[in-house]
Amino acid sequence: MSASTVRPGLVLFALAMGGFAIGTTEFAVMSLLPYFAPGLGIDEPTAGHVISAYALGVVVGAPVIAVLAAKLSRRTLLIALMGLFAVANTASALVPSYEWMLVFRFLSGLPHGAYFGVAALVATSLVPHNKRAQAVSRVMLGLTIATIIGVPLANAIGQLVGWRWGFALVGVLGLLTVTLLVLYAPKDRPVPGASPLRELSALAQRQVWLTLGIGAIGFGGMFCVYTYLASTMLEVTGVAPATVPLALAVFGVGMTVGTLVGGWAADRALMPSVGGILLWSAASLLLFTFTVGNVWALMVAVFMIGCGGALGSALQTRLMDVAKDAQTLAAALNHSAFNFANALGPWLGGLAIAAGHGWASTGWVGAGLALGGFAIWVVAIMDDKQRETLEPQACS
């Protein structure tokens, strides 16, 4: 598809479909935890390591793929990444043991960060500069809609016919995305001057590391609660299993609303929006701890926690501002940071539960992580102001 025939709406739809597939596998695994744990002969805290294996795959895959594939066209890279994603998730449905599940969840995570990073760059290339965050949010919308439709569907399938079919569903979604990308992704050439060395230059930027730190710590709170949400509802709230998919859908509605509103706000006041989202998340996670005994109050808290997903597109846009020429690596590292949070949150939450503090303790742990991200945001703001003060002096 030549530049003159590119249809932005179809391109964004194809990119968002990849986000839908990734969002389904990332969040559905958490909701299927009570079902695949006994299926693999392990307890639920141990099953949490399967989630961490996927997250670590993202952490490793995003920078490695972004650097090694620097000279590939974005279209070619997107198609290859989704092909690997489809194969690894299909294999996850067929694993014979816990150890093999760890291997294939790690492999499933490898394309995640690089896909979202490159997809964000393609999306922003289709719109004016002042609408970048909204373009990124359209891609991320696939992920948030997955939490409304894909995750509850995978959870329901897991309950009705077995957890393996939930992973098989994701494999099909991955193949569908490959097809859409072949049809609609704009044909392009590798970025002039692109090289692994130039991509690595992103690591020399202090603001890149601070932005990544905000996501790595601040997003951990949401994952901390979400990972154990199904178990908390079954063990503490006392709901029927059929109610769990409804709560997952409510979370997804919150993420969708947050992503849309957050993208709009970030295009107008980027860093203030990031700080506001982190404080919102901390308050929502604290509210969670006081609502676990009442299913209706819990649903409100879950919706509010989901709104904190707005952090994703805001930080993605921030990285575009601070990464200079190393756009691909910085964009991909954003999802490494989020999946570091995806590993950190469940791990710390599992420690709190195992220590006897109860299922609701994940809210306290999560709020602490959100406030930790806010502390790094404060450092980033101070660093920005310091640089603005020093630059005029250096020019004089």
Domain harbouring 113, CATH code: 1.20.1250.20
**395 occurs within a structural domain:** no
Give per-residue pLDDT as tens, 146-201: 878 887 788 788 888 888 888 888 999 999 999 999 999 888 777 666 667 677 76
- pLDDT value at 316 more than 80: yes
Indicate the helix (H) or strand (E) that contains 375.
Answer: helix 361-395
DSSP 204: G
Sign of CA dihedral 367, 370, 376, 380: negative
Q: CA 212 to CA 206: how far, in whole Å?
A: 10
The number of distinct structural domains making up the chain is 1
Torsion 188-191-197-201 (CA) sign: negative
How far CA 192 is from CA of 71, 88, 188, 273, in Å, comes to 9, 32, 11, 33
Q: Is residue 392 situated within a structural domain?
A: no
The answer to whether residue 213 sits within a structural domain is: yes
Residue 294 has pLDDT above 50, yes or no: yes
239 assigned to some structural domain = yes
Backbone dihedral angles phi then psi of residue 292, each to the nearest 5 degrees: -65, -20
Mean pLDDT value of segment 242-249: 84
**196-219 confidence digits (pLDDT tens):** 767 776 677 888 899 999 999 999
Question: Six-digit token pair at 186?
Answer: 């704009």
Torsion of CA 82, 87, 89, 94, to 10 degrees: 170
Question: Do residues 393 and 255 touch, judged by C-beta distance below 8 A?
Answer: no
With respect to residue 335, please indicate whether it lies within any of the assigned structural domains.
yes
| In the predicted structure, residue 382 carries a pLDDT above the cut 90 | yes
Polymer length of the chain: 396
Amino acid 2: pLDDT: 46
> What pTM does this model have?
0.80
Of 373 and 269, more confident: 373
Q: Which domain holds residue 382?
A: 3-387
